[in-house]
Amino acid sequence: MLDVQLLRSQIETVAARLASRGLTLDTSTFAALEDGRKSLQTRTQELQAKRNALSKQIGMLKGKGEDASAVLADVARLGDELKACEQALPGLLEKMEAFLLGLPNLPHESVPVGEDESGNVEVRRWGSPGSFDFEVRDHVEIGAGLGLDFDTGARLSGSRFTFMRGKVARLHRALAQFMLDLQTGEHGYTECYTPYIVNRDILVGTGQLPKFRDDMFWVLRGGDEQAGEQYLISTSEISLTNSVRDQVLPLDALPVKLTAHSPCFRSEAGSAGRDTRGMIRQHQFDKVEMVQIVHPEKSYEALEEMVGHAETVLQRLGLPYRVVALCTGDMGFSAAKTYDLEVWLPAQNTYREISSCSNCEAFQARRMQARFKNVNGKNELVHTLNGSGLAVGRTLVAVLENYQQADGSVVIPKALVPYMGGIEVLEPAL
RNA sequence: GGAGAGGUGGCAGAGUGGUCGAAUGUACCUGACUCGAAAUCAGGCGUAGGUGCAAGCCUACCGUGGGUUCGAAUCCCACCCUCUCCGCCA
């Protein structure tokens, strides 16, 4: 959420910065809401102050045993207008809140301006795509003999679900374990296990709600028709970041660095027809997520660091990738700046997103009321960052495709061998 | 699921309709005393929001949401959470 003070004082600047994201700020709606809010709120508070003062008088008079009927009559005169104000104000404040909750974050000044992904800027490349002296197969073909079973996934749950058995299932687990060990053991993140089902407010905190409800899976508790719905997390960023909501952290607690391996559930509304083959785009996938809660002055430093943490995973696995700075038009709702990591997929002959690292600045912190005590002893909003380290399913795809052999086997990257119980090559069963 | 107890400021803990945003203790900060510290003494010390150049003034907040009342931490209703015991259960 943007700082409402900023909108009040510099609406044109805000509008210009949002325009770079392709969003037209409805300044007249804001102005109308703000005018209404200001007059109604000040009037309400004025009447409340009068009522409180008169009520105190009544208390004093009655305490002394004197007649209070005159004051009582004064208070009664406030009645109707006060009641009307107190009834109208919450609705107006909610409208204002809803307006603010629907606005995306302001892009950082260093973000390249662009309309869509074609405006993204490649920052660097690592590794070079391998050459194959045979026709490369995609992960669907390679995986078929290794236990990667899309038919069963579809039979159980429909499209965009995958069933894995045997060696591929183990490889999938090995990848997650390896990533988690790396981020906790070498990069200083605290391993977490979080709920996968969360309350509505939690999604408002990180920005999935109210605007992107269609992207979520939501659930109802058995037997209780009255209970509100809860949501399956679409990333553990949600539960990790919200772990500091409504908190005032001591200065020396920063930075908080958290990581978790979790499933992620996404309805992929609006993605019909995209990446329908294979496990690039699934309704359920695993991810090792990194989250940092940092001092506002350190957040851009932390972003660079976090990108490095994600890159390390790809480097240890020997997977070629590039780092891309997303442009204003391609960034996510909550982000002020985002780097994507794109891994080389030989079967697609292109780089595909495998990690996304974002600095959300105070955007989420303001929604969550996540603060720290600054050097002056004042409460100040933290900055939050999140990044994938990495998406496990897509990493599995990348390993299968980049390490495939002519005979259909797949060499296990050295870093994973210990996690595979010493297995160095996956041989197809068929 | 059943029975009971409870949710008040960083913590502890009072407050049962009227100058209560809340006693008191403790922690913390500032000052005094001290060579320094401890002890002691004095003062300060919640959050969000509105308004104002500012000092300040004002509003809301005692688990959450409603209600009664001129006035609610206090009374009423619903819900949530925590703890204890029992049942069930991976």
CB A85 within 8 A of CB A40: yes
Q: What is the pLDDT of residue A61?
A: 83
Q: What is the pLDDT of residue A37?
A: 92
Active site residue A281: yes
- Could you give phi then psi for residue A384, rounded to 5 degrees? -120, 145
Nearest to A207 by CA among A340, A360, A95, A355: A360
In a domain, A58, yes or no: yes
Angle between the A392-402 and A299-317 helix axes, to the nearest 10 degrees? 40
Q: Is the CB of A192 under 7 A from strand B?
A: no
CA–C1' span, A63 to B23, in Å?
A: 20
CB A59 within 8 A of CB A72: no
CATH number at A299 reads: 3.30.930.10
Which residue numbers in chain A have pLDDT < 50?
none
Read off the tokens for A46.
């004025």
In a domain, A242, yes or no: yes
The one-letter amino acid at A389: G
Clarify whether residues A406 and A260 are in a common domain: yes
Clarify whether residues A95 and A241 are in a common domain: no
Polymer length in residues for chain A: 430
Q: Is the CB of A55 under 7 A from strand B?
A: yes
CA–C1' span, A175 to B68, in Å?
A: 62
CA–C1' span, A29 to B50, in Å?
A: 21
Clarify whether residues A176 and A233 are in a common domain: yes
Clarify whether residues A224 and A355 are in a common domain: yes
Name the one residue in this structure whose structure tokens are 């003070």.
Answer: A5
Clarify whether residues A93 and A133 are in a common domain: no
In a domain, A362, yes or no: yes
Going by the DSSP 8-state scheme, the letter that residue A115 receives in this structure is S
Domain boundary, last residue among A71, A101, A131: A101
Separation CA A139–CA A149 (nearest Å): 11
Q: Is the CB of A46 under 7 A from strand B?
A: yes
Clarify whether residues A97 and A213 are in a common domain: no
CA–C1' span, A80 to B57, in Å?
A: 25
Q: What is the pLDDT of residue A81?
A: 85
CATH number at A84 reads: 1.10.287.40
- Could you give phi then psi for residue A174, rounded to 5 degrees? -60, -40
Separation CA A342–CA A307 (nearest Å): 12
Q: Which residue is nearest to nucleotide B51 (CA to C1')?
A: A42
Domain boundary, last residue among A101, A125, A143: A101
Domain boundary, last residue among A101, A133, A152: A101
Nucleotide nearest to A377 (CA to C1'): B29
Q: Which of A334, A356, A358, A388 is catalytic?
A: A356
- Residue A74's H or E segment, with its range, is helix A69-101
Clarify whether residues A288 and A395 are in a common domain: yes
- What is the pairing mode between strands A337-345 and A321-325? antiparallel
Tens of pLDDT along A289-338?
Answer: 999 999 999 999 999 999 999 999 999 999 999 999 999 999 999 999 99
DSSP SS3 for A293: strand
Give the predicted TM-score (pTM) of the model: 0.92
Q: Which of A281, A316, A322, A352 is catalytic?
A: A281
- What is the pairing mode between strands A256-265 and A284-294? antiparallel
CA–C1' span, A102 to B81, in Å?
A: 30
In a domain, A394, yes or no: yes
In a domain, A11, yes or no: no
Q: Is the CB of A9 under 7 A from strand B?
A: no
In a domain, A71, yes or no: yes
Exposed e or buried b for every residue in A363-400, given b needs 16+ CB within 10 A? bbbbbbebbbeeeeeeebbbbbbbbbbbbbbbbbbbbb
CA–C1' span, A46 to B55, in Å?
A: 21
Active site residue A358: no
In a domain, A144, yes or no: yes
Active site residue A21: no
**Number of folded domains that form chain A:** 2
Nearest to A278 by CA among A139, A391, A137: A139
Clarify whether residues A94 and A150 are in a common domain: no
Domain that holds residue A365: 117-426
Clarify whether residues A121 and A43 are in a common domain: no
- Could you give phi then psi for residue A354, rounded to 5 degrees? -130, -15
Contacting residues 128-187/A vs strand B (CB within 7 A):
none
Exposed e or buried b for every residue in A83-96, given b needs 16+ CB within 10 A? eebeeebeeeeeeb
> Which nucleotides of chain B have an atom under 7 angstroms from any protein CB?
18-19, 47-51, 58-60, 66, 70-71, 80
Active site residue A86: no
Clarify whether residues A97 and A172 are in a common domain: no
Q: What ipTM does this complex have?
A: 0.84
Active site residue A17: no
Q: Is the CB of A75 under 7 A from strand B?
A: yes
Clarify whether residues A201 and A88 are in a common domain: no
Nucleotide nearest to A371 (CA to C1'): B47
In a domain, A317, yes or no: yes
Clarify whether residues A126 and A71 are in a common domain: no
CA–C1' span, A53 to B56, in Å?
A: 19
CA within 13 Å, CB half, A129: 17
- Say if residue A255 is preceded by a cis peptide, omega within 30 of 0: yes
Q: Is the CB of A220 under 7 A from strand B?
A: no
Contacting residues 90-129/A vs strand B (CB within 7 A):
90
The one-letter amino acid at A246: D
